[in-house]
Amino acid sequence: MKQPNTLTRRKLLQLGTATAAALPIAHILITNPAQADDLPHLGSDNPTAVALGYVEDTTTVDKAANPRHEDTQMCSNCTLIQGNDGDEWRPCAIFPGTVVSANGWCKSWAPKA
Ligand code: SF4
């Protein structure tokens, strides 16, 4: 008779191993400056970007739709930004496989700790 708990535990271990193996690779792909330079800019047609109101220039944010937005809030000082300080285009944890403008903004903006 099959023991479902053993199978579940085995699958969890396999998933954990696969995830642990993939994380360093994902980190390298996201944070390696050479890779970041090769990534496409986040497009305004990206459905997640549209849903989060992403703009490449924080000063162009719709103030009526985002009353708590301030022009000092931008991707370069967001806790979700990745890559190198000072780069004009950088990876963001919300938009894998693309880079966002350092001067950009979206509704997920949160200050760096
Ligand atoms: Fe920019 Fe932060 Fe939004 Fe990413 S989550 S696009 S870094 S404001």
Question: How many whole angstroms separate alpha carbon 79 and alpha carbon 76?
Answer: 9
The model's confidence at residue 17, banded by pLDDT at 50, 70 and 90, is very low
Structural domain contains residue 20: no
- Coil, helix or strand for 111? strand
DSSP, residue by residue, 35-82 = HHHHSPBPPTT-HHHHHTT-BSSGGGS-TTT-TT--TT--GGGBTTB-
Which domain CATH number covers 95?
A: 4.10.490.10
Structural domain contains residue 91: yes
Judged by phi (left if over 0) then psi (alpha if -120 to 50, else beta), residue 83 lies in left
Distance between Cα 79 and ligand 1 center (Å): 8
Structural domain contains residue 79: yes
What is the atom index within ligand 1 of the atom nearest the CA of 106?
Answer: 3
Which residues does ligand 1 sit against, CB inside 6 Å?
A: 54, 75, 78, 80-81, 92, 94, 100, 104-106, 108-109
Provide the domain limits for residue 82.
Answer: 34-101
**Number of residues that make up the chain:** 113
Distance between Cα 44 and ligand 1 center (Å): 14
Structural domain contains residue 1: no
Question: How many whole angstroms separate alpha carbon 87 and alpha carbon 2?
Answer: 55
What is the atom index within ligand 1 of the atom nearest the CA of 110?
Answer: 2
pLDDT, tens digit, for every residue of 21-41? 444 445 555 555 557 789 999
User: Domain total for the chain?
Assistant: 1
pLDDT, tens digit, for every residue of 46-101? 999 999 999 999 999 999 999 999 999 999 999 999 999 999 999 999 999 999 99
Question: How many whole angstroms separate alpha carbon 41 and alpha carbon 29?
Answer: 15
Structural domain contains residue 11: no
Structural domain contains residue 112: no
